[in-house]
Amino acid sequence: MNGEARRDGLRILIVDDHEVVHFGFRLMLDRQMNVERCLAAKSEAEAIAMCTRYEPHVALVDLFVGEEFGPEIAKSLGSLSPAPRILLISGAGSVSRSAAGAAGALGFVGKNRSASDIALAIETVHQGKEFFDIQETAPTTLLSEREREILALIATGATNKEIGDRLHLSRYTVQDYARAVFRKLDVPNRTAAVQRAQRLGLLD
């Protein structure tokens, strides 16, 4: 934030486990909004500490922060006094209005939206109004039909060879599909993919 905090501006907390996201949002918000201070946290504990110390007006919380679930972090932040307004964010996936409301969040916006769209979402939530990015890719269309089919079999514990035998694909083709699933869900392995898919409603 150019070294010094600006008075009378917004204090914004970004809760995300990726430093590049913190940097990107800081740079973007510095150009788009009157921001007094842009804070960053990589976990629920850090987010609570930042809120207690700086009392941010708005907290942008990723749906998944490492192994932690964003809506659960949102609930914790909402119990603080004063509590920040919560805007859920994600680069892969979405959240329903009802689920966001249950977590105490006023809205959701995709990380891939333009700087002006994200700034509008933050300002709307700061005013105590709801903002939902209705154009964000829905969980049901995040993965292709084949990728969802393979993900469902991964969830059963089947190996790549077993999945290939069942779908009449080579294990190498299955491996390629699995890697695409991991990339789209932003996870490192099969276990994490199943956990994230369950939370996003991609598995029955």
Query: Domain 139-200 classified CATH 1.10.10.10?
Result: yes
pLDDT in tens, 128-150: 999 987 544 444 457 888 998 99
Q: Mean pLDDT score of the chain, rounded to an integer?
A: 87
**Nearest-angstrom CA–CA distance, 110 and 28:** 14
Same fold, 10-132 and 139-200: no
Lowest mean pLDDT segment, chosen from 38-42, 152-156, 191-195: 191-195
Omega before 188 cis (within 30°)?
no
Angle, in degrees to the nearest 10, between helices 160-167 and 145-155: 130
**Nearest-angstrom CA–CA distance, 138 and 165:** 30
Predicted pLDDT at 5? 45
**In this predicted model, which residue has the larger pLDDT, 142 or 102?**
102
The CATH architecture that domain 10-132 belongs to is 3-Layer(aba) Sandwich (3.40)
pLDDT at residue 100 is higher than 50: yes
- pTM here? 0.66
pLDDT at residue 42 is higher than 50: yes
Residue ranges of the domains in the chain? 10-132, 139-200
pLDDT in tens, 163-197: 999 999 999 999 999 998 988 887 788 888 888 77
Q: Which residues pair with 109 in a beta bridge?
A: 89
pLDDT at residue 97 is higher than 50: yes
Question: Distances from the Cα of 182 to the Cαs of 55, 80, 179, 194, in angstroms?
Answer: 36, 35, 5, 10
Predicted pLDDT at 45? 97
